[in-house]
Amino acid sequence: MNRNKIIHGVIGGLAGGLIFGIMMGTMGMLPMVGKMVGYPSATVGFVVHMINSAIIGAAFGLVLGRFASQFGASAGLGLAYGSLWWLLGPLTLMPLFLGMDFGVNWSVAAALKMLPSLLGHAIYGVVLGVVYSMLGSRAAVGVTAPAERPSAAREMQPQVALRTESRR
């Protein structure tokens, strides 16, 4: 179902985004992300980053979700997907949002400066893929929280009734 693919992608994207966001914070990159929306602060940058992470995760679920059912395949797809977003994000779209020319970061020298970002995007993608796979496998075997299982409450009732009757 597409709804589950989107939800699992969003959750995986947020998990990967949180880890990558912490990395970006330690590298001082978050204010630049905030600058894309006109507010060069780390807090705004983190919020923008997490929104992007959720949207990119949802797209992963929709586009690649059917191929991401196995743990290893999902991690590999996530790695490739995160790396693709390194090309699309900091090398292409981010410079455009910051008013730079198209393709300004499409050189070996610029890409080399962005290698820490590639590592972050790769980690984001792997976490996205792994979490997506884990959520998908839980849904496939029907794992639900106890509150979502109405039978759990019914299973408890006969035991209580039997104990009450045996005391009389």
Give phi and psi for 114, each to the nearest 5: -95, 10
Q: In whole angstroms, what is the distance from residue 117 CA to residue 62 CA?
A: 25
Tell me the residue ranges of DSSP E strands in the chain: none
Q: How far is the CA of 135 from the CAs of 7, 41, 94, in angstroms?
A: 9, 33, 31
Model confidence pLDDT, tens digit, residues 126-152: 999 999 999 987 666 555 544 444 554
Average pLDDT, the chain: 85
Task: State the DSSP code for 32.
Answer: H
Tokens of 11: 């959750």
Task: State the DSSP code for 98.
Answer: T
Q: In whole angstroms, what is the distance from residue 118 CA to residue 80 CA?
A: 11
Model confidence pLDDT, tens digit, residues 81-119: 999 999 999 888 888 888 888 778 888 998 899 899 999
Model confidence pLDDT, tens digit, residues 19-39: 999 999 999 999 999 999 999
Average pLDDT, integer, range 58-67: 93
Model pLDDT, residue 137 = 75
Question: To the nearest whole percent, how much of the chain has pLDDT over 70?
Answer: 81
Q: pTM here?
A: 0.78
Q: How confident is the model at residue 156 (pLDDT cuts 50, 70, 90)?
A: very low
